[in-house]
Amino acid sequence: MFTHWHALLAVPALIALSAQGLSNEHTAHPAKSDPAWNGYTPPGTADPAPFTPYYVPDGAKSYDSASRLVHYKGTWADAYSSSFVGHSSRRTRQPGASFYASFTGTGVEWFGGTGPEYGAADVYIDGRLVDRVDSYSKDRRFQLRRFWVFGLEYRKHTLKVVNAGKRGKHGVHTTIDVDALVIYHGVPPPKQQLHQSHHHHPPPSHPLVEAAPVRAAQASPPPLQGWQLEQKGTTGVSAMQLAIISSTHAIIVDKVEHNPLTIDNLHPAWATLYNLDTHALTPLHVKSNSFCAGGAFLGNGTLVNVGGNPIHEDHTASADFDQTDGMQSVRLFESCETVDAAGCDIYEYPDRIRLSTPRWYPSVVRLQDGSVMIIGGSKRGGWINNATTNNPTIEYFPPKNIHGANGTPIHLQFLVDTLNSNLFPIAFLLPDGRVFIAANRDAMIYDWKSNTETRLPRLPNGVRVTYPMTGTGILLPLVPENDHAPEVLICGGSTLDDTKPAYEMSAKDPASDQCARLLLTPEGIERGWQVEQMPYPRMMPDAVLLPTGAVVIVNGAASGISGYKNVRDQVGMSNADNPVGTPVLYNPAAPVGKRFTLGLPESAIPRMYHSTATLTPNGVIMIAGSNPNLDRSEVAYGTEYRVEWLRPPYVTRSRPVIDEAPRAINFGETVKVLVKIPDDLRNEKLKVAVMDFAYVTHATHTNSRLVYLVAAPGEDEHTVTVTGPPNGNVYPPGPGWLHVIAGDVPSRGIKILVGSGESPPVDYGAIENLLKTETKGNQEVYSKEG
Ligand X SMILES: *[C@@H]1O[C@H](CO)[C@@H](O)[C@H](O)[C@H]1NC(C)=O
Instruction: For residue 693, give the nearest of 629, 748, 762 by alpha carbon.
Output: 748
User: Burial, 55: exposed, middle or buried (Cβ in 10 Å; 0-12, 13-18, 19+)?
Assistant: buried
From the list 3, 218, 388, 775, which residue makes contact with ligand X (rule: CB under 6 A)? 388
Least distance CB 738 / ligand X (angstroms): 20
The residue nearest ligand X at its CB is 382
Question: If binding is defined by CB under 6 A, does position 502 make contact with ligand X?
Answer: no
Q: How far is CA 377 from the centre of its chain?
A: 19
Piece in contact with ligand X (CB under 6 A), picked from 158-166, 234-242, 382-390, 702-710: 382-390
Question: If binding is defined by CB under 6 A, does position 382 make contact with ligand X?
Answer: yes
Q: In this complex, which beta carbon is closest to ligand X, that of residue 382 or of residue 733?
A: 382
Q: In this complex, which beta carbon is closest to ligand X, that of residue 148 or of residue 396?
A: 396
What kind and span of H or E run contains 4?
helix 2-8
What lies within 8 Å, CB to CB, of 17 at 6+ separation is 80, 87, 88
Instruction: For residue 687, give the nearest of 634, 755, 745 by alpha carbon.
Output: 745
Q: In this complex, which beta carbon is closest to ligand X, that of residue 298 or of residue 567?
A: 298
Q: Write b or e for each residue in 410-420: b if 16 or more Cβ atoms lie within 10 A of its Cβ, otherwise e.
A: bebebbeebbb
Q: In this complex, which beta carbon is closest to ligand X, that of residue 398 or of residue 736?
A: 398
Question: If binding is defined by CB under 6 A, does position 416 make contact with ligand X?
Answer: no
Sheet containing 180-184: order of strands: 25-27, 61-64, 180-184, 107-114, 141-149
- For CA atoms 17, 23, 27, 30, the dihedral sign is negative
Least distance CB 627 / ligand X (angstroms): 19
Cβ-contact 514, 533 below 8 angstroms: yes
Q: In this complex, which beta carbon is closest to ligand X, that of residue 262 or of residue 309?
A: 309
* Cα angle 709, 710, 711; round to 5: 105
Least distance CB 781 / ligand X (angstroms): 13
Q: What span, in angstroms and rounded, lies between the C-alpha atoms of 61 and 427? A: 44
Question: If binding is defined by CB under 6 A, does position 589 make contact with ligand X?
Answer: no
Question: If binding is defined by CB under 6 A, does position 562 make contact with ligand X?
Answer: no
Find the farthest-apart pair of alpha carbons in the chain and give their distance in angstroms, rounded: 87
Least distance CB 354 / ligand X (angstroms): 12
Q: In this complex, which beta carbon is closest to ligand X, that of residue 200 or of residue 380?
A: 380
Residue 151's Cβ-side half-sphere holds a number of Cα atoms within 13 Å equal to: 18
Question: If binding is defined by CB under 6 A, does position 163 make contact with ligand X?
Answer: no
What kind and span of H or E run contains 530?
strand 530-533
Question: If binding is defined by CB under 6 A, does position 332 make contact with ligand X?
Answer: yes
Least distance CB 548 / ligand X (angstroms): 32
Piece in contact with ligand X (CB under 6 A), picked from 112-120, 406-414, 640-648, 757-765: 757-765
Q: In this complex, which beta carbon is closest to ligand X, that of residue 334 or of residue 417?
A: 334
Least distance CB 386 / ligand X (angstroms): 4
Binding to ligand X in span 55-74, by CB under 6 A = none
Q: What span, in angstroms and rounded, lies between the C-alpha atoms of 693 and 471? A: 18
Q: In this complex, which beta carbon is closest to ligand X, that of residue 75 or of residue 386?
A: 386
Cβ-contact 669, 723 below 8 angstroms: yes
Q: In this complex, which beta carbon is closest to ligand X, that of residue 402 or of residue 686?
A: 402
Q: What span, in angstroms and rounded, lies between the C-alpha atoms of 390 and 384? A: 10
Q: What span, in angstroms and rounded, lies between the C-alpha atoms of 446 and 458? A: 15
Question: If binding is defined by CB under 6 A, does position 401 make contact with ligand X?
Answer: no
Least distance CB 418 / ligand X (angstroms): 15
Q: What span, in angstroms and rounded, lies between the C-alpha atoms of 364 and 700? A: 10
Instruction: For residue 427, give the nearest of 376, 479, 371 by alpha carbon.
Output: 376
Q: What span, in angstroms and rounded, lies between the C-alpha atoms of 181 and 130? A: 17
From the list 119, 362, 398, 728, which residue makes contact with ligand X (rule: CB under 6 A)? 398
From the list 762, 765, 768, 779, which residue makes contact with ligand X (rule: CB under 6 A)? 762
What are the start-end ranges of the E strands in 626-781?
642-647, 657-660, 664-665, 670-676, 686-692, 696-697, 705-713, 719-723, 734-742, 745-746, 750-754
Q: In this complex, which beta carbon is closest to ligand X, that of residue 382 or of residue 409?
A: 382
Residue 61's Cβ-side half-sphere holds a number of Cα atoms within 13 Å equal to: 13
Piece in contact with ligand X (CB under 6 A), picked from 13-21, 378-386, 426-434, 727-735: 378-386
What kind and span of H or E run contains 522?
helix 522-527
Question: If binding is defined by CB under 6 A, does position 386 make contact with ligand X?
Answer: yes
| 3-state helix, strand and coil shares in percent for the chain, rounded to the nearest 5 | 10, 40, 55
Instruction: For residue 208, give the nearest of 573, 557, 504 by alpha carbon.
Output: 557
Least distance CB 571 / ligand X (angstroms): 22
Q: In this complex, which beta carbon is closest to ligand X, that of residue 416 or of residue 762?
A: 762
Q: In this complex, which beta carbon is closest to ligand X, that of residue 147 or of residue 383?
A: 383
Q: In this complex, which beta carbon is closest to ligand X, that of residue 100 or of residue 782?
A: 782
Question: If binding is defined by CB under 6 A, does position 302 make contact with ligand X?
Answer: yes
Alpha helices in 167-255 (DSSP H): 191-195, 207-211
Question: If binding is defined by CB under 6 A, does position 759 make contact with ligand X?
Answer: yes
Length of the chain: 786
Piece in contact with ligand X (CB under 6 A), picked from 90-98, 429-437, 581-589, 755-763: 755-763
| Residue 228, CA distances (Å) to 114, 599, 734 in order | 42, 11, 32
Binding to ligand X in span 423-482, by CB under 6 A = none
Q: In this complex, which beta carbon is closest to ligand X, that of residue 41 or of residue 386?
A: 386
Piece in contact with ligand X (CB under 6 A), picked from 167-175, 379-387, 618-626, 741-749: 379-387
- Phi and psi, residue 589, nearest 5°: -85, -15
Q: In this complex, which beta carbon is closest to ligand X, that of residue 79 or of residue 298?
A: 298
From the list 159, 180, 276, 298, which residue makes contact with ligand X (rule: CB under 6 A)? 298
Question: If binding is defined by CB under 6 A, does position 389 make contact with ligand X?
Answer: yes
Q: What span, in angstroms and rounded, lies between the C-alpha atoms of 118 and 170? A: 10
Binding to ligand X in span 334-373, by CB under 6 A = 334
Q: In this complex, which beta carbon is closest to ligand X, that of residue 589 or of residue 762?
A: 762
From the list 67, 235, 300, 603, which residue makes contact with ligand X (rule: CB under 6 A)? 300
Question: If binding is defined by CB under 6 A, does position 712 make contact with ligand X?
Answer: no
What lies within 8 Å, CB to CB, of 4 at 6+ separation is 77
Least distance CB 743 / ligand X (angstroms): 38
Q: In this complex, which beta carbon is closest to ligand X, that of residue 398 or of residue 572?
A: 398
Question: For the window 17-56, what string marks contact with ligand X as x by the rule CB under 6 A?
Answer: ----------------------------------------
Question: For the window 256-295, what string marks contact with ligand X as x by the rule CB under 6 A?
Answer: ----------------------------------------
Q: How many residues bind ligand X (CB under 6 A)?
A: 14
The footprint of ligand X (CB under 6 A) covers 298, 300, 302, 332, 334, 382-383, 386, 388-389, 398, 759-760, 762
